[in-house]
């Protein structure tokens, strides 16, 4: 299970936490990553997988004023992305545009097309409209949820609506439902909350503590994957919020303890494959990326019978564990163009792109 160094590596200069798939780039498989260095000049790397898929090429290197805590790429324009950054105490979020003809320029500067500067507490993340050309953008800080409308041509961004999550909730992140563009999930200390963007009201919540990361299944409606400190990865059906329909690490611990005696460490990132059903990646403190096959009972036959079956089924859900990392892995992104490829970013600034093709057949 110990994955050898099958991946293609790429080194960032500094420590880093975030990497994103450049969804809008339909010609190449590219990723964008930002560094997290408190004292150095931070950088944004545009990385492209060479056509042969054998090496990672730096397509662009841009300096970024502050250390980057979150980064997401615009789904319709490959040159636009957003970052959440901080310097010491101050936090900010901005939308950037990679300058045209950057290949020719020696030290190209990112063009800031909008600052999400309505926040008054620590910003956690930005979310783009899940797919297609749309001017909506969400940013989440510790207490609030902002819906922005972006005009990329006029280079303006405006708060469209805003809602406070309440004093007691410290929001930590979120995800935009790709199936229902009016719904956004946000995570906080004790629960996962669901918001309706039309009314900006909370519609529902899952009482589940210490969720680190959340992702929607892009293929299957109503399926949500969460990663948390305490017990690994949970898969939820949004129509039955009481209990998760599947617990991945639980099964992992239940079945694999004899082979793998590592205790549970924090899982920091979880991502659903955009194409293949039930493939989930997770990464965290254990310096490894795990590929799971988590086929929750299909949404059509949620009878108790099939649930029972899925519980008693003793197939090992862990397909592979890529453990060739030196440090904790915080960044994780599937390529939407080539959905069997994913990029991971460990804290020491190493980007590793792996192909899961050998494991697809196993599934």
Partner 1 sequence: MGMEDGDIPLDDKAKRMRDLLSSFYSTDPPHSMPANTSSKYATLDTINTTSFDAHQYMNLLVQKSNLESLLQRHVEMAAEIKNLDTDLQMLVYENYNKFISATDTIKRMKNNVVGMESNMEQLLEKIMSVQSRSDGVNTSLFEKREHIEKLHRTRNLLRKVQFIYDLPSRLGKCIKSEAYADAVRFYTGAMPIFKAYGDSSFQDCKRASEEAVAVIIKNLQGKLFADSESIQARAEAAMLLKQLNFPVDSLKVKLLEKLEQFIDNLQLESTEISNAVVGRDEPPKQGKTAESVPSSHEASTYEFVEAVRAYRVIFPDSEQQLIKLAHDLVTKHFEAIQQQIKRQICSTDLLGLLRVIWTNVLLMDEVLPDVALSDFSLEASRLAVKHYIDSTFSHLLLDISDALTRPKEGAEEEYYLQSALDASKKAVTEGSMHVLQDFRQLLDNDLGLLVKLRELIIDWVQEGFQDFFRKLDDRFLLLSGKTNLTSQDRGLTEETQKVKVLSGLILVMAQLSVFIEQNAIPRITEELAASFSGGGVRGYEYGLAFVPAEICRIFRSAGEKFLHLYINMRAQKISILLRKRFTTPNWVKHKEPREVHMFVDLFLQELEAIGTEVKQILPQGLHRKHSRTDSNGSTISSRSNPLRDDKMSRSSAQRARSQLLETHLAKLFKQKMEIFTKIEHTQESVVTTIVKLCLKSLQEFVRLQTFNRSGFQQIQLDIQFLRTTLKETVEDEAAIDFLFDEVVVAAAERCLDPIPLEPPILDKLIQAKLTKTSVQSPTSSSPHGITKRERAEEGEASVNTACFCRVVLQSLLFKELRGYMMEAQPCETISQPRVKAVIRLGSETYSVNASKGILSEQLVSMKEESMSILKDFITKHNVPNDVPDEIDDISSGDDDDGETSEKVTLKSKKQRK
Contact residues: partner 1, CB under 8 A: 15, 38-39, 86, 88-89, 170, 210, 229-231, 240, 242-243, 245, 247, 250, 253-254, 257-258, 261-266, 268, 285, 287, 304, 307-308, 311-312, 326, 328, 347-348
334 in Cβ contact with 20 (< 8 Å):
no
Quick one: 162 or 285, whose CB is closer to partner 1?
A: 285
Find the angle CA(347)-CA(34)-CA(152) to the nearest 5 degrees.
155
Strands (E), 189-301: 191-196, 201-207, 211-216, 223-228, 232-237, 246-247, 267-272, 279-284, 289-293
Least Cβ distance, residue 102 to partner 1 (angstroms): 30
For 302-320, letters b (16+ CB in 10 Å) and e give beeeebeebeeeeeebbbb
Quick one: 132 or 263, whose CB is closer to partner 1?
A: 263
322 in Cβ contact with 3 (< 8 Å):
yes
- Joined tokens for residue 149: 């409308």
Quick one: 100 or 326, whose CB is closer to partner 1?
A: 326
Least Cβ distance, residue 247 to partner 1 (angstroms): 8
Find the angle CA(23)-CA(217)-CA(317) to the nearest 5 degrees.
115
Nearest CA among 147, 97, 86, 151 for reference residue 118? 147
Nearest CA among 102, 28, 114, 118 for reference residue 63? 102
With tokens 């029972």, the residue in question is 308
Least Cβ distance, residue 305 to partner 1 (angstroms): 10
Least Cβ distance, residue 265 to partner 1 (angstroms): 6
Quick one: 100 or 301, whose CB is closer to partner 1?
A: 301
268 in Cβ contact with 329 (< 8 Å):
yes
Quick one: 304 or 361, whose CB is closer to partner 1?
A: 304
Quick one: 141 or 247, whose CB is closer to partner 1?
A: 247
Least Cβ distance, residue 81 to partner 1 (angstroms): 22
Quick one: 50 or 87, whose CB is closer to partner 1?
A: 87
Least Cβ distance, residue 332 to partner 1 (angstroms): 16
Least Cβ distance, residue 4 to partner 1 (angstroms): 13
């Amino acid at each position: 299970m110990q994955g050898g160094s099958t991946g293609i590596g790429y080194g960032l200069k500094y420590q880093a936490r975030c990497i994103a798939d450049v969804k809008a780039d339909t010609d190449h498989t590219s990723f964008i990553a930002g560094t997290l260095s408190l004292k150095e000049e931070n950088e944004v790397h545009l990385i492209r997988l060479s056509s042969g898929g054998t090496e990672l090429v730096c397509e662009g290197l841009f300096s970024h004023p502050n250390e980057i805590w979150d980064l997401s790429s615009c789904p319709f324009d490959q040159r636009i992305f957003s970052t959440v950054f901080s310097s010491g105490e101050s936090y900010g979020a901005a939308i950037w545009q990679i300058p045209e003809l950057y290949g020719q320029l020696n030290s190209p500067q990112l063009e800031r097309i909008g600052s999400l500067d309505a926040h008054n507490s620590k910003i956690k993340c930005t979310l783009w409209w899940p797919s297609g050309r749309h001017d909506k953008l969400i940013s989440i800080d510790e207490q609030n949820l902002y819906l922005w409308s972006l005009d990329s041509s006029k280079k303006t961004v405006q708060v469209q609506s805003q809602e406070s999550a309440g004093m007691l909730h410290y929001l930590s992140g979120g995800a935009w439902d790709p199936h229902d563009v009016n719904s956004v999930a946000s995570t906080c200390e004790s629960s996962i909350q669901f918001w309706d963007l039309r009314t900006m009201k909370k519609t529902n919540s899952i009482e589940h503590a210490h969720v680190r990361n959340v992702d929607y299944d892009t293929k299957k409606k109503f399926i949500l994957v969460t990663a948390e400190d305490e017990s690994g990865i949970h898969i939820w059906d949004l129509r039955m919020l009481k209990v998760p329909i599947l617990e991945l690490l639980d099964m992992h611990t239940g079945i694999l303890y004899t082979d793998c005696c590592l205790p549970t460490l924090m899982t920091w990132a979880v991502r659903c494959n955009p194409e293949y059903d039930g493939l989930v990646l997770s990464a965290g403190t254990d310096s490894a990326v795990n590929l799971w096959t988590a086929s929750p009972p299909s949404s059509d036959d949620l009878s108790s019978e099939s649930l029972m079956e899925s519980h008693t089924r003793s197939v090992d859900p862990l397909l592979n564990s890529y453990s060739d990392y030196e440090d904790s892995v915080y960044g994780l992104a599937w390529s939407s163009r080539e959905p069997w490829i994913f990029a991971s970013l460990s804290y020491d600034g190493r980007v590793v792109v792996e192909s899961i093709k050998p494991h697809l057949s196993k599934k």
